[in-house]
Amino acid sequence: MAKNKRDIERQVKQEEIEAAATRLFVERGYDATSMAQVAEQAGVAPNTLYWYYKNKDEMLVATLNRLVGKGLSEYAQMADQPLDTQLLWLLGQFEQFSALVTTVHARVEHAATVREWHANFHMMLDQLMIARLQAQGVTAEQAGLLATVTGFVVEGLLSHATPQPQREAIVQWLLRAGVQTA
Amino acid sequence: MAKNKRDIERQVKQEEIEAAATRLFVERGYDATSMAQVAEQAGVAPNTLYWYYKNKDEMLVATLNRLVGKGLSEYAQMADQPLDTQLLWLLGQFEQFSALVTTVHARVEHAATVREWHANFHMMLDQLMIARLQAQGVTAEQAGLLATVTGFVVEGLLSHATPQPQREAIVQWLLRAGVQTA
DNA sequence: AGCTTATCTTGAATTGCATTCAAGATCATT
DNA sequence: AATGATCTTGAATGCAATTCAAGATAAGCT
């Protein structure tokens, strides 16, 4: 698709910027990271960022897509594990970005682009979960409900720092109860 | 405790400020409301607010306490209703402040005072819930787990705008499954 | 009643932020 | 080589929270 020296440099520079943004957002948090800091880490002037992203929220979405992409490719290895194992693994993965979970919810109200990303993300996870549950014989309706609840519980666990044993107990109970009461 | 003309005026002014802050925070959101706007609505200079509150986060906590206080006094009327009715009523109440749910989570990372308020709030709701469940014969352990999950689900429902029938189905399933699998 | 002190109130900074502007540099294509 | 598109940047702009120093006002004391 891209063959110019320009097109290549553009992609490289975008990757540098997004790598810097990801690192800072994860380490210090979105609010505490200024555009100037991202620019400095990426080795460009602050306003240069606005050539690549319309605003800070779009930069956030770019980093989110990057993180999710990486996460999904690793998830492929887990495809044949039982559901509770998968969920606990997912929680472990997301833990490092737990601050971003809150950030996304905070920005959803203000930025249409984040709102859209958020909606798609939930739909994707719901679909994944529903497919797994239906394969276990859960009805479509019950699977939908359970997927929604599971999503809420995952977000809750991430944004409320729950100790590991309690976390496991919750996930295990939820799935057992979900299938049992189907 | 307070008998001075000064002490009285202080309380009155605080109430004016908090009323203004509450209205603006609920209507426009915390981030979108500037200290200057609160000051204007309260009829004081922007910096006057800093005599009453150390910073914007402390003003937020003051408004939260006010809202929760009001909510709890209304909740007293619901004391003898079944648990699912209570939860759905609670959701209805909180709905108007759903934006503040996200705001609190966002500020928890940055402001110790909000962090503390948030922890206390969850503990209070957990205790309420646990007491109710134990009265129904649920073990302490299971009640604790279920209270946590319910808290997450309530927050999820509030911050993700779920249609009413689905909301009811979720609450009803959750409580039924919770008691059933105890 | 005066004097002193603690309690407020405020106009005018200060600082830090996201974002924009206008002007220049660099590359691709003809 | 000429032209236009693609970047890059230094210098604004505007808005936010927060602080500072100086002035008002009331309380408590003699």
Q: What is the CATH number of the domain that holds A172?
A: 1.10.357.10
pLDDT at B17: 98
Rg (CA), chain B: 19
Q: Distance from A76 to chain B by nearest Cα, in Å?
A: 27
User: How many angstroms separate the CA of residue B100 from the nearest CA in chain A?
Assistant: 10
| d(C-alpha A137, C-alpha B153), whole Å | 24
> Is the domain of A46 the same as that of A84?
no
- For residue A6, count other CB atoms closer than 10 A to its CB: 9
The answer to whether the CB atoms of B105 and A110 lie below 8 A apart is no
pLDDT band at B154 (very low <50, low <70, confident <90, very high): very high
Per-residue CA distances from B23 to A8, A110, B45 (Å) = 51, 19, 18
Question: Is the Cβ pair B170, A148 closer than 8 Å?
Answer: yes
- The number of C-beta contacts closer than 8 angstroms across A and B is 91
Two tokens, residue A106: 């905070």
Q: Total structural domains in chain A?
A: 2
pLDDT at residue number B125: 95
Distance CA B167, CA B151 (A): 14
**DSSP class of A169:** H
Same domain, A47 and A62: no
pLDDT at res. B5: 78
- DSSP string spanning B111-138? -HHHHHHHHHHHHHHHHHHHHHHHHTT-
- Residue A8's region, left for phi above 0, alpha for psi from -120 to 50, else beta, is alpha
If asked whether residues A147 and A176 sit together in one domain, one would say yes
Write down the H helix ranges in B29-139: 35-42, 49-52, 56-75, 83-95, 98-108, 112-135
Q: What's the pLDDT tens digit per position in B88-125?
A: 999 998 888 999 999 999 999 999 999 999 999 999 99
Q: Which amino acid is at B45?
A: A
**Are B147 and B133 in contact, with CB atoms under 8 Å apart?**
yes
Distance in angstroms, CA of A125 to C1' of D7?
Answer: 38
Q: Are residues A134 and A66 in the same domain?
A: yes
Q: What is the pLDDT of residue B12?
A: 95
Measure, in angstroms, how far nucleotide D19 C1' is from residue B135 CA.
54
Cα atoms found within 13 Å of the Cα of residue B126, Cβ hemisphere only: 16
- Same domain flag for A134 and A78: yes
Residue B144: its pLDDT value, please? 97
* pLDDT 10s digits, A111-170: 999 999 999 999 999 999 999 999 999 999 999 999 999 999 999 999 998 999 999 999
Identify whether residues B19 and B62 lie together within a single domain: no
Domain co-membership, A32 together with A72: no
First to last CA, chain B: 49
Protein CB footprint (7 Å) on chain C nucleotides = 7-12, 16-22, 27-29
Which chain B residues are closer than 8 Å to A158 by Cβ?
none
Of A105, A153, A159, nearest to B149 by CB-CB distance is: A153
Q: Which amino acid is at A102?
A: T
**pLDDT: which is higher, B171 or B8:** B171
Residues, chain B, total? 182
Are A22 and A91 in a shared domain? no
CATH of the domain at A8: 1.10.10.60
Residue ending a domain, choose from B34, B52, B70: B52
d(CA A26, CA A17): 14
Residue A6: band (very low, low, confident or very high) from pLDDT cuts 50, 70, 90: confident
Q: Answer whether A108 sits within 8 Å of B102, measured CB to CB.
A: yes
User: Pick from B59, B156, B95, B14: which is nearest to A125 by CA?
Assistant: B156
In this structure, the answer to whether residues A93 and A151 fall within a common structural domain is yes
- The separation, in Å, between residue B133 CA and nucleotide C20 C1' comes to 58
**Any idea which residue has 């004081």 for tokens?**
B44
Measured in angstroms, the CA of B12 and the nearest CA of chain A are apart by 33
Confirm whether any atom of chain C, the nucleic acid strand, is less than 7 Å from CB of A46: yes
Q: pLDDT of A8-67, one tens digit each?
A: 889 999 999 999 999 999 999 999 999 999 999 999 999 999 999 999 999 999 999 999
Are B108 and B136 in a shared domain? yes
SS3 of residue B146 by DSSP: helix
- pLDDT for B181 equals 84
Residue B1 pLDDT > 80: no
Average pLDDT over every residue of B126-141: 95
Domain limit, last residue, from A9, A28, A52: A52
DSSP code for A76: G
pLDDT over threshold 60, residue A105: yes
Nearest 5°: CA angle at A80, between A99 and A122? 35
Higher pLDDT, B87 or A9: B87
Task: Indicate whether B39 and B117 sit together in one domain.
Answer: no
Contact A181, B180 (CB under 8 A): yes
**Domain span including residue A47:** 1-52
* The last residue of a domain, from among A52, A73, A88: A52
Percent pLDDT > 70 in chain B is: 98
- Specify the pLDDT at position A56: 98
Q: Based on the domain organization, do A81 and A168 belong to the same domain?
A: yes
User: In the predicted model, what is the mean pLDDT of residues B34-42?
Assistant: 98
